[in-house]
Structure 1
Amino acid sequence: MQRYGQIIKVKKEKIQEYKDLHAKPYDGVCEMIKKCNIQNYSIYLFGEYLFAYFEYVGADFEADMAKMAKDVNTQKWWRVTDPCQISLGYAGQKWLDMEEVFHLD
């Protein structure tokens, strides 16, 4: 199992919309996340920043992320959530991976 922490900025005027969307995700989105070997997934809001945490339990992260990106329901979901976000990374990179500096089970 690999733990991931990621960060992105949310547009100030889109915070409530982002919360509302996540209160009722589109059909199939959560199921696809699980099919792609992601579990224990949470998103936290701090000011204008979103922090995501999840655990990956598969064997090929890149292949699973490609599978998710090809999913029609996920594509629809990203079309409504992406405009709420401001990437802190480079072109083509949305959520930035963060370095884990401490963990306690």
Structure 2
Amino acid sequence: MAQPQPRRFAQIVHLKPSAVAAYKECHANVWPEILQKIKECNIVDYSIYFDNDRTLFATFKYIGTDIEADMKNMASLPKMKEWWAMTDGMQESPIPGAVSSAEGPGWWKPLEEVFHTD
């Protein structure tokens, strides 16, 4: 059976100015359980960039076949909820009505891809 074509995702969230150092530090030492769960949930080539102002830009590829199921699987890990609670506290969501990464309409704002080349 052929592998599914990877789907590319890009999204943004805002970083609180007071949290820049702490955010960079926790991502320099990501908990092993978080890295393992990301891999198990078919996410690869995941990067987060900071514009040195307030915006975090994330991009990743999804190589699975059921992203909704994989995202539910990711959210089921208690350590992931702990990670999200920690990092959400350092961020401000641009999504109206956002509650957290674990609940609500979303936390990171999805971006529309307008150009791509292989």
* TM value normalised by structure 2: 0.86
Paired residue for 2:74?
68
Q: Which of residues 34, 38, 42 is equivalent to 1:33?
A: 38
Considering Cα pairs closer than 8 Å and 6+ residues apart, tell me whether 1 or 2 has the greater RCO.
Answer: 1
Q: CA separation in 1, counterparts of 2:94 and 2:76?
A: 24
Q: Unaligned stretches of 5+ in structure 1?
A: none
Paired residue for 2:3?
none
Q: Which has the larger radius of gyration?
A: 2
Contact 1:27 1:73 in 2 (8 A): no
Q: Unaligned stretches of 5+ in structure 2?
A: 1-5, 98-103
Q: CA separation in 2, counterparts of 1:27 and 1:37?
A: 16
Q: How many residues align?
A: 105
Q: CA separation in 1, counterparts of 2:62 and 2:43?
A: 5
* TM value normalised by structure 1: 0.96
Percent of pairs with identical residues:
42
What is the CA RMSD across the aligned residues, in angstroms?
0.8
